[in-house]
């Protein structure tokens, strides 16, 4: 096989460059003479046209920003109540309400301020100074003053200050068209290796020069650069969080029923009672007294504790996660993590180690030639391959490939573990070394075996070059192509085998890969078991992404990022493709952002993990942005959660903890909404129909005692779902209304039994009736306090209440508060206007409350079992729900048709198999008959021969 037989030479590895065409007007500005540069006048003119090379800031008025946190349904209710308190001169309640409002605003303002640091972190990745040709001289200039057309010098270690086109000219002005730079742009594009860029290639702002030096001409600056567009995506991503939307929906529901009912009560109390004909006076109350009545009801009805309980629950969860090296920057991200159904994960540095590692190599036979690959039949082994590669590696080189080879050899080769000096090779001495250069594309060492005195040369380099050096090697070429097809980087190793040191023999091919982290595959498996679909998103090549996906146990349905911008398909078709795919390759920040956006448009809650600048926009856009260990400042600032431990394994802990927290919050919300509906419905009807109310102090005692007690829900035990949690607002509000309505009926049963069966407030003289009415008010207080409160033992789980045992602290506090309420009612408390009702009524009401919570638990389970999205869509048919319902019905019909066809196909297959089996049996029977016939004939012949003998 000759040197020019190119079929046996592997193809050179290529990098797919991210490029975009420049506008003709901009291209015309890039004709600067390299060693002259721009003049000061040209720079000023272009600064005016394009602006400085920096990411612009959009600062909002911080005071107005703070005031915006006093908006929202629950805040409006609290503000209305505070205003009424001020009108009535009820300053203690006014102070409490104002404190709650300010506390909520401060927390929200603090959380929002964290997001603004993402842009600042991006700016910190930009170079501050650079070398540029101005007025014919190479001078140092501020990077912010660069303009398109500036000629800059890039050297080893420089941060590229702006997007620029490499000119193929050395810093001193010599033409070097074959020269190239090694540029690390992993933080920008997610590529696991530094990329080789030559004349005409684009070097992106904020990437780092790892090898070489060259002049370049600035093409884009500021917000128009690759990193600038990422910053722009962050600045335009300012969506309301999922949790805030849920709270607002609940708040809007409660504000609607609360205000409508208290306003009706107010006008009836003020103007609607009419005249007392016997006394000749009005039954109407003065405006202030009527206002005081509705104020007390409003304060008791408003779920003042809702934001507080939610915040405390999430804060406790954040503390638990911090012990597992998961730092929560935005508390509401805990709730949203419980609902995440898709986790988009960056590959490089997140699923993988972000460092090259030695993989299974190709090993040649000793004594092989270009025509005889078998040689002596004995193969070189890993030890020999790595030893020769180590000899041909440059000591102290920072190149990632050289570093990977030397690290693998030092870890695996036994003789290297015995070396004394850092670069010694026991038993050998390197007498000459030729470093890598872009023309030869290999390194070479001349080595002496100190034991035998043998001298030989060993080389390591690009596979096509090494194959040519050994005179061609088809087996090695096939091995390289197989490795390349799986995305592995290959390096050829050969050594001389003759005394003249001119004849090279193939030793083997080293394969290198950025390996998956040890826990990534298990984490993906556990995420799948929790109902979370993991998608791998990377800027690396498609074949590399597929190989990593295979090693992680994922399906290999990885698509090129071009599938996200296919103009031949509409957005729905592209979204379907995104949902079905297991990942994407060759992505840029806009692509990652687009994937998250499309999934969210389909109603999915999306988590995004990443570590680089290129991940920052998608981290900000996602419902839950997760920055992994070792991330850049930009990624950390844009994220909601930061992992301090390496890999993704802690995400599983985070998901489980967040789902437990979600169950606690949902159970509290269900309990609190049902309690509010019960409270409002009962007093709305009792005041208007029976002119019955209970003392203001007892109403406030219900609100304070019960809301304070439910704070311990943060420490309750919780069942964790194996599927992503959802609020199911339609189900939540409907079930709350059903429970609240049934609670109202139970309370009215107590009222009617006490008033009409026992004559409380009805029998006796005026003094006895007044005494009986006070007793009835205390009985209703105890019932309204205890029965809804015990319901929380039911709402804390979606199934039967006994399936999950509540925590001891939770149980003691919840029951303890009601025991206190019972003793207040049994013995009375004059200061609270509670009249003593005795042991019979006290224990009786408590016993009924306990039995009723069990009855309501049955109702809850039945509703949850039979509730579906179809029920919600039909009970509350909003346009969005109708559209979603129609889509689900159409999808079901489509799947049903597919299943019918599938069953038909299965039937045909079974019939075909049966026919095949029948045919085989017939053929087998014919063969058996022929065998039997031959056996009989043979037996006759044997018998005949015996007789003749």
- The residues that are catalytic are 346
**What is the DSSP pairing of strand 533-537 with strand 583-585?**
parallel
Residue 637 to residue 640: CA distance in whole angstroms: 8
Sheet holding 208-211, edge to edge: 195-198, 180-184, 208-211
Name which of 452, 407, 412, 413 is nearest 429 in CA terms.
Answer: 452
What is the number of alpha carbons within 13 Å of residue 435 lying toward its C-beta?
8
**What is the DSSP pairing of strand 342-346 with strand 606-610?**
parallel
Name which of 56, 246, 40, 7 is nearest 135 in CA terms.
Answer: 40
Name which of 142, 130, 155, 139 is nearest 52 in CA terms.
Answer: 142
Residue 253 to residue 238: CA distance in whole angstroms: 25
In the chain, the N- to C-terminal Cα span, in Å, equals 70
Beta-carbon contacts of 432 under 8 Å, excluding residues fewer than 6 positions away, are 444, 445, 446
Name which of 668, 684, 663 is nearest 300 in CA terms.
Answer: 684
**What is the DSSP pairing of strand 533-537 with strand 342-346?**
parallel
Beta-carbon contacts of 674 under 8 Å, excluding residues fewer than 6 positions away, are 735, 736, 737, 739, 740, 743, 788, 791, 795
Residue 411 to residue 389: CA distance in whole angstroms: 13
DSSP letter for 705, please. H
Beta-carbon contacts of 830 under 8 Å, excluding residues fewer than 6 positions away, are none
DSSP letter for 631, please. -
Cα torsion through 815, 816, 818, 822, rounded to 10: 130
Q: Are 655 and 633 in contact (CB under 8 A)?
A: no
Max CA-CA distance within the chain? 148
- One-letter-per-residue 3-state SS of 485-507: HCCCEEEEEEEECCCCCCCEEEE
Name which of 670, 350, 377 is nearest 516 in CA terms.
Answer: 350
Residue 555 to residue 564: CA distance in whole angstroms: 19
Beta-carbon contacts of 118 under 8 Å, excluding residues fewer than 6 positions away, are 234, 616, 620, 634, 637, 638
Name which of 735, 603, 604, 746 is nearest 666 in CA terms.
Answer: 735
Give me 615's structure tokens.
């991940």
- Helical H runs in 691-752? 696-709, 729-752
Q: Are 228 and 126 in contact (CB under 8 A)?
A: no
Name which of 594, 549, 560, 589 is nearest 575 in CA terms.
Answer: 594
Residue 702 to residue 711: CA distance in whole angstroms: 15
Helices 287-301 and 242-271, axial angle in degrees (round to 10)? 150
Residue 593, exposed/middle/buried by CB under 10 A (0-12, 13-18, 19+)?
Answer: buried
Q: What one-character-per-residue DSSP string does 605-628 give?
A: -EEEEE-SGGGHHHHHHSSEEEEP
């Amino acid at each position: 096989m000759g040197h020019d037989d190119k079929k046996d030479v592997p193809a050179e590895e290529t990098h797919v460059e991210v490029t975009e065409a420049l506008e003709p007007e901009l291209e015309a500005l890039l004709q600067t003479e390299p060693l002259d540069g721009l003049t000061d006048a040209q720079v000023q003119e272009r600064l005016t046209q394009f602006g400085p090379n920096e990411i612009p800031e959009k600062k909002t008025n911080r005071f107005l920003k703070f005031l915006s946190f006093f908006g929202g349904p629950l805040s409006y209710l609290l503000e209305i109540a505070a205003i009424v308190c001020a009108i009535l001169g009820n300053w203690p309640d006014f102070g409490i309400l104002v404190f709650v409002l300010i506390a909520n605003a401060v927390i929200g303002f603090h959380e929002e301020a964290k997001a603004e640091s993402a842009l600042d972190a991006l700016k910190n990745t930009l170079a501050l100074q650079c070398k540029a040709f101005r007025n014919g001289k190479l001078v140092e200039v501020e990077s912010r003053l660069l303009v398109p057309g500036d000629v800059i010098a890039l050297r080893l270690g420089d941060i590229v200050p702006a997007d620029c086109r490499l000119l193929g000219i050395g810093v001193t002005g010599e033409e070097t068209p074959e020269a190239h730079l090694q540029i690390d742009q992993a933080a920008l594009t997610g590529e696991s290796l530094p990329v080789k860029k030559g004349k005409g290639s684009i070097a992106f702002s904020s990437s780092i020069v790892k090898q070489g030096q060259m002049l370049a001409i600035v093409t884009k600056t500021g917000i128009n650069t690759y990193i600038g567009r990422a910053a722009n995506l962050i600045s335009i991503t300012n969506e309301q969080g999922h949790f805030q939307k849920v709270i607002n929906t609940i708040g809007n529901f409660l504000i609607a029923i609360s205000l409508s009912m208290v306003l009706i009560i107010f006008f009836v109390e003020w103007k609607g009672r009419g005249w007392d004909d016997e006394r000749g006076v009005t039954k109407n109350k003065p405006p202030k007294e009527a206002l005081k009545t509705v104020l007390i009801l409003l304060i008791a009805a408003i779920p003042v504790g809702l934001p507080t309980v939610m915040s405390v629950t999430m804060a406790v969860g954040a503390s638990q996660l911090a012990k597992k090296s998961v730092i929560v920057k935005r508390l509401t991200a805990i709730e949203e993590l419980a609902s995440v159904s898709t986790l988009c994960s960056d590959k490089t540095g997140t699923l993988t180690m972000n460092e090259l590692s030695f993989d299974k190599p190709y090993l040649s036979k000793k004594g092989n030639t270009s025509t005889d690959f078998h040689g002596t039949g004995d193969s070189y082994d890993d030890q020999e391959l790595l030893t020769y590669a180590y000899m041909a590696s440059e000591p102290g080189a920072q190149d990632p490939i050289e570093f990977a080879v030397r690290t693998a050899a030092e870890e695996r080769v036994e003789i290297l573990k015995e070396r004394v000096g850092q670069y010694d090779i026991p038993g050998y001495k390197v007498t000459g070394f030729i470093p890598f250069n872009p023309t030869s594309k290999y390194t070479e060492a001349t080595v002496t075996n100190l034991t035998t005195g043998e001298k030989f040369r060993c080389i390591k380099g690009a596979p096509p070059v090494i194959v040519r050096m050994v005179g061609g090697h088809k087996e090695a070429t096939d091995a390289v192509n197989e490795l390349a097809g799986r995305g592995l980087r290959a390096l050829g190793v050969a050594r001389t085998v003759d005394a003249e040191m001119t004849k090279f023999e193939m030793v083997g091919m080293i394969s290198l890969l950025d390996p998956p982290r040890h826990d990534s595959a298990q984490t993906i498996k556990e995420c799948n078991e929790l109902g979370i679909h993991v998608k791998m998103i990377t800027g690396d090549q498609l074949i590399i992404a597929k190989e990593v996906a295979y090693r992680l146990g994922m399906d290999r349905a990885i698509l090129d990022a071009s599938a996200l911008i296919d103009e031949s398909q509409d957005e729905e078709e592209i979204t379907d493709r995104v949902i079905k795919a297991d990942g994407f390759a060759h992505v840029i920040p806009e692509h990652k952002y687009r994937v998250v956006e499309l999934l969210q448009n389909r109603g999915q809650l999306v988590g995004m993990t990443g570590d680089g600048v290129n991940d920052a926009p998608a981290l900000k856009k996602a419902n839950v942005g997760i920055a992994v260990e070792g991330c850049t400042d930009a990624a950390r600032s844009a994220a909601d959660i930061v992992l301090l431990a390496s890999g993704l394994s802690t995400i599983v802990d985070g998901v489980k903890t967040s789902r437990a927290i979600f169950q606690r919050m949902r159970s509290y919300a269900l309990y609190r909404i049902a309690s509010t509906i019960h409270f409002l419905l009962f007093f709305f009807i009792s005041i208007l129909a029976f002119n019955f109310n209970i003392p203001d102090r007892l109403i406030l005692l219900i609100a304070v005692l019960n809301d304070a007690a439910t704070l311990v829900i943060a420490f309750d035990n919780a069942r964790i779902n194996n599927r992503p949690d959802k609020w199911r607002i339609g189900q939540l509000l409907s079930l709350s209304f059903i429970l609240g309505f049934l609670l109202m009926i139970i309370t009215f049963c107590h009222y009617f039994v006490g008033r009409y069966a026992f004559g409380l407030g009805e029998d006796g003289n005026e003094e006895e009736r007044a005494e009986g009415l006070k007793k009835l008010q205390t009985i209703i207080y105890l019932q309204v306090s205890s029965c809804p409160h015990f319901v929380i033992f039911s709402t804390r789980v979606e199934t039967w209440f006994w399936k999950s045992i509540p925590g001891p602290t939770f149980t003691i506090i919840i029951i303890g508060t009601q025991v206190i309420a019972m003793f207040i009612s049994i013995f009375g408390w004059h200061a609270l206007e509670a009249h003593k009702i005795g042991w019979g009524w006290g224990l009786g009401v408590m016993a009924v409350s306990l039995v009723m919570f069990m009855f309501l638990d049955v109702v809850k389970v039945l509703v949850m079992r039979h509730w579906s999205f179809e029920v919600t869509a039909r009970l509350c048919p909003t346009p969005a729900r109708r559209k979603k319902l129609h889509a689900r019905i159409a999808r079901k019909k489509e799947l049903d048709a597919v299943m019918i066809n599938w069953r038909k196909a299965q039937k045909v297959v079974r019939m075909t198999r049966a026919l095949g089996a029948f045919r085989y049996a017939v053929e087998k029977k014919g063969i058996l008959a022929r065998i039997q016939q031959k056996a009989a004939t043979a037996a006759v012949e044997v018998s005949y021969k015996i007789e003749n003998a």
